[in-house]
Amino acid sequence: MKLMRRKRDTGEVIKNYYPPVIDEATWQSIQPKKIKTFNAGPQTDANNLFSGLLFDGYHPDYRMKFFMMNKEKGYIYLSSDYATIDPLYLERQQAMDRGEKPVARPLSGESIRYNEFESHFLRHFSEIDLFQALPERTPAESSRIGLLEKDQQDNTKALANLVRAIESGEPSAVVMEQIKKREATARRLAKELEAATDKERRQKYAMDSFEEEHQRIIELLGAETREARLSLRSLLHRVIERIEIFPAGLLEVPDDFKMVVYPDRHGMMCYKVKLVGSHPIWIWWDGWYPYY
């Protein structure tokens, strides 16, 4: 027999039935502010065309975080996730919390407008001939997989001979040591062959598809619908490995790159685009870009 529970009538809520400890204004002032943030990882919407591709050029292991300050006004920014552990940035925040005058903002605290970056990137990226940017494969690169396969076959044959020697006689410490070395070599060769094969596959895909992909990207540059932006984002992820952003320009300029930077581009924001299987491409805020 199923028992029926009677719903308890809680009655009308009587405001201020108990004396408040603090007033309403104080209570509202200490409530945590809600800020909607988006990480630069995979997302379900199409706001960020570069999700998972953007990195801090000064600290390449850290991503550029995508966050929205005001959805109505479209205030969307990119900032480095390195700020979460940067002692200089954390010290500055603590000083501000104490009401003290903060020190100068460190590089990790610099942010850039996402919409400006997206517009700049798409405008100048469309001018790059991706097919021409692909490097020619050297004879050494072309023969590497064949050499690795030959080494793998030789090592497998030698390992089989050692195993047979163990099976036909008394175990030998010398033979066992050789078997361990051959097994370690087999693991190393398998990893190197997998990496080389994957690299060749990606390069071949790039060679075969960059021209077609680039044309499709140009067609979608003015995309406004969600579906079109998702298609554009998918295309960008197929031709780009990563983008490293330098909001304050290059701090350390390589000797063979100084003529490009000095005197006009020192301190100018720039970013490095690493294409799949290709050379990096540098793009400065004035729109000038070299292959490097």
Encode pLDDT of 39-51 as tens digits.
333 344 567 899 9
Q: What is the pLDDT of residue 159?
A: 87
pLDDT of residue 38: 35
What pTM was estimated for this model as a whole?
A: 0.59
What is the per-residue pLDDT across 24-40, written as a single tens digit (0 to 9) for each? 666 565 555 443 333 33
For residue 265, give every residue at least 6 positions away whose Cβ sits within 8 Å of its Cβ, in sequence order, or none.
249, 284, 286, 288
Of residues 214 and 198, more confidently modeled? 198
Alpha helices (H) along the chain: 24-29, 87-97, 114-125, 130-133, 139-168, 173-219, 226-239, 258-261
With CA atoms as reference, report the closest residue to 192 among 143, 139, 145, 150: 145
Q: What's the pLDDT score for residue 175?
A: 82
Average pLDDT over residues 62-73: 80
As a whole number, the mean pLDDT across the chain is 78
**Taking every pair of C-alpha atoms in the chain, what is the biggest distance, in angstroms?**
93
Identify the band that residue 4 occupies on the pLDDT scale cut at 50, 70 and 90: very low
Q: Give the per-residue pLDDT at 127.
A: 80
pLDDT of the residue at 208: 61
